[in-house]
A = this chain, B = another copy of it.
């Protein structure tokens, strides 16, 4: 769910400081939902679990019912009570959202059909910890259709769509999640997924690593039966590499974060759209003619720049890497240092994965009404803390929009308090979620069915052929028709007609 070019991936790569700190530092539970910061494996609550996550659909979130779900006795229409959600009666609303999502996730629906006969997950007992959304529900129900039994908790205390959780519970999925969990609720829900009589998971699907951490800490013996972990987040993947490095990873793990489909599509194409959406929803600004500086020209920066240029903005780019810098030049962007343009720009967007890219000094020099936001990694890029000084006045003008006012009346428009704009202020297209969910499903199938010895106690990337398969499942959405190699052509190229079609280092 995080943007930014991660420095993780191949196990050969050294870990940067901000990752290494994870294991060493303790962080207080932060009541204000932020999306980041350093985190300790030993701290009490997951950082990622406090991400907020916007959704267009939440019909029934009346806050009238203040009873904790943990204190309620609820049953679904079949009398089953092995779940804990906000209100089982909202199931119908949730089912509608799931049905809408199904229409936009044809890859998973195709997977249901293709793998229906053989039930490749027959016998699989999957425990999952992810955002609970309509899209996740489509994934869960697909896993079910493939033969798996699932138990699920939320990876984030705010992101659960209660209606969807209710719909899943109504359908018989043991779901333990609601919007606005406390820290204690969070771990209680996770525990309810794994600590259950007569059922022991043999697969883990995690997003952030909290579930994996919990099992490591509380039920290490469970790993004896677990065939593998599938992890989707930058943070969770990092934790796995740490475990591996430390020799403590006791099952194979699949890093689905670094698959090409996720990296290129999630970062480049998704950000190309969400930067516009995020800025519009928060500020209603017109893009035409605006001067914008985009810090960082990785995939995220490339997407932001392409979109803004296309809409008539004048875009400047900052970079530290000369290769990306040269790409920016060839793509038609002036490459500058932030200081050179900070006085003149209307918008500052960070996409670096770095920290303190926008400093108080920069903020002091921006012109009145300058908009500042972050599309990169976590909330470190803009030094928001430096704005919490007595001489500056903060004024919340809209949800996710603060005016920070200087003594001379100058206002800076800070979006999402420096957290990720696209997660906070726009929606994530179902299409992108579909790619990720399909990848997760395939990774589970692969790990579950892999013959003894194919995977060791290490972190693996998805085989390229699977990336290609995920892509191919999404082509029908676009009525796209793939060409097949003739036998003669395949021989000429030295390729198998079914792929993989590129060497592993191919850059796309």
Contact = CB atoms under 8 A, between A and B. Distances in A.
A56 interface: yes
B314 A333 contact: yes
Interface stretch (A69-77, A110-118, A194-202, A318-326): A318-326
B493 A7 contact: yes
A488 B57 contact: no
Nearest to A321: B501
A389 interface: no
A34 B329 contact: no
Contacts of A478: 289-291, 326, 329, 335
Given A284-B427, A330-B312, A335 B482 contact: yes
Contacts of A20: 494
Given A507-B507, A508-B323, A508-B327, A483 B16 contact: no
A293 to B, nearest CB: 11
Residue among A269, A270, A353 with max Cβ neighbours from chain B (10 Å)? A269
Interface in A455-505: 467-469, 471-472, 474-475, 477-486, 488-489, 491-495, 499, 501-505
Contact of A429 (B285, B480, B489): B285
Nearest to A270: B286
A337 interface: yes
A483 B398 contact: no
A83 interface: no
Interface residues of A, number: 130
A269 B398 contact: no
Given A429-B284, A494-B16, A261 B326 contact: yes
A377 to B, nearest CB: 10
Interface string A4-31: 0101111011111111100000000010
Copies of this chain present in the complex amount to 4
A312 B507 CA distance: 21
A227 interface: no
A418 B479 CA distance: 27
A35 interface: yes
Interface in A362-401: 368-369, 380, 395, 397-398
A379 to B, nearest CB: 14
Interface stretch (A39-47, A176-184, A303-311): A303-311
A311 B321 contact: no
A320 B494 contact: no
A329 B323 CA distance: 26
Contacts of A307: 310-311
A474 to B, nearest CB: 6
Interface of A: 5, 7-10, 12-20, 30, 32-35, 37, 56-57, 96, 100, 103-104, 260-261, 263-265, 269-270, 272-273, 276-277, 280-281, 284-291, 299, 307, 309-314, 318-338, 340, 344, 353-357, 368-369, 380, 395, 397-398, 411, 426-432, 467-469, 471-472, 474-475, 477-486, 488-489, 491-495, 499, 501-508
